[in-house]
């Protein structure tokens, strides 16, 4: 199980560290409170702050570090049953861990869904919009296209339920870069 702490050496801030964490540095987005940037209700009212942040976090802006490559080494040696990650940065994929070995518990930028017609798209289709400071729109219905990142108020991906079969089969569980603490909203 991996959390934001494994990506901080790559330059990606974690969420809760005082002063350097993502929640401590959201003033620039002009949002009412830090968690609003990942709240579905707020996104429907004002998606611009999320997409401004997404431009910074979008895969391709950062490189994997030794922790990501250690997990890849476990895979290469046939020792990785599955990697459960809370990260949305995609660095596990970039490091070479195959998607079938990943459970991206908080979602991914690799795919996106129209918030109106529910059409699915490769996330890369909208990278240009995000990097160009434009809100991605569905080419069919013009609804906002949201990367498949899990926001507060959304369910975890179905793949997360693999833990029911994976955990009893595991000989060892590494917990890296996460406290596994819940936010008040998650309790």
Q: Catalytic site residue 68? A: no
Please tell me which residue in 68, 75, 106, 163 is annotated as part of the active site: 106
Strand order in the sheet with 107-114: 120-122, 107-114, 145-149
Which residues fall within 8 angstroms of residue 65, CB to CB, at 6 or more apart? 6, 7, 9, 10, 91
CA distance 13 to 34: 14
CA distance 98 to 179: 25
CA distance 108 to 160: 13
DSSP code per residue over 78-136 = T--S-EEE---S-HHHHTT--GGGEEETTEEEEEEEETTT--EEEGGGGHHHHHTT---
Q: Which residue is associated with the tokens 């997409």?
A: 51
CA distance 93 to 98: 6
Active site residues: 106
């Amino acid at each position: 199980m991996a959390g934001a702490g494994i990506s901080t050496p790559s330059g990606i801030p974690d969420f809760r560290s005082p002063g350097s964490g993502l929640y401590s540095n959201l003033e620039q987005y002009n949002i009412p409170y830090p968690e609003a940037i990942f709240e579905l209700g707020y996104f429907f009212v004002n998606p611009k702050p999320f997409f401004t942040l997404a431009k910074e976090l979008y895969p391709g802006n950062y490189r994997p570090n030794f922790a990501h490559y250690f997990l890849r080494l476990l895979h290469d040696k046939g020792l990785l049953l599955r990697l459960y990650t809370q990260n949305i940065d995609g660095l596990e994929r970039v490091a070479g861990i195959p998607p079938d070995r990943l459970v991206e518990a908080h979602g991914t930028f690799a795919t996106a869904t129209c918030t109106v017609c529910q059409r699915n798209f490769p996330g890369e289709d909208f990278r240009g919009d995000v990097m160009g400071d434009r809100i991605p729109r569905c080419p069919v219905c013009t609804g906002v296209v949201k990367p498949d990142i899990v926001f507060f108020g959304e369910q975890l991906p179905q793949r997360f339920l693999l833990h029911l079969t994976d955990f009893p089969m595991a000989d060892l569980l590494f917990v890296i870069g996460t406290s596994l603490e819940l936010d008040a909203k998650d309790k």
